[in-house]
């Protein structure tokens, strides 16, 4: 799968498992899988295929 432009060799996993693997704190994070935003309430059930494309965005404070 490709995560934020970087290839990772996974057979597939859930959004929650991917964030855990990447050690990303879920607070302030949005995730899109294959171009579709995944609601946080579904992260534990949405499966990402080995060929999936994932974008993980982190909110940043600024002005």
pLDDT digits (tens, 9 = 90+) for 5-25: 999 988 889 999 999 999 999
Q: Give CA–CA dist 57/43, Å, rounded.
A: 14
| Domains along the sequence of the chain with CATH | 2-58 (3.10.20.30)
Q: What is the pLDDT of residue 11?
A: 81
Find all residues with CB under 8 Å of 34, minimum gap 6, and list them.
52, 53
pTM of the full predicted structure?
0.88
The dihedral over CA atoms of 56, 39, 46, 11, expressed in degrees to the nearest 10, equals: 0
Cβ of 27: how many Cβ atoms within 10 Å? 7
Q: What is the pLDDT of residue 63?
A: 60
């Amino acid at each position: 799968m490709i995560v934020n432009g970087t290839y990772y060799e996974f057979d597939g996993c859930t959004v929650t498992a991917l964030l855990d693997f990447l050690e990303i704190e879920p607070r302030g994070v949005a995730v899109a899988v294959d171009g579709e935003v995944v609601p946080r309430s579904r992260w534990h059930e949405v499966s990402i295929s080995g060929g999936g494309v994932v974008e993980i965005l982190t909110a940043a404070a600024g002005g």
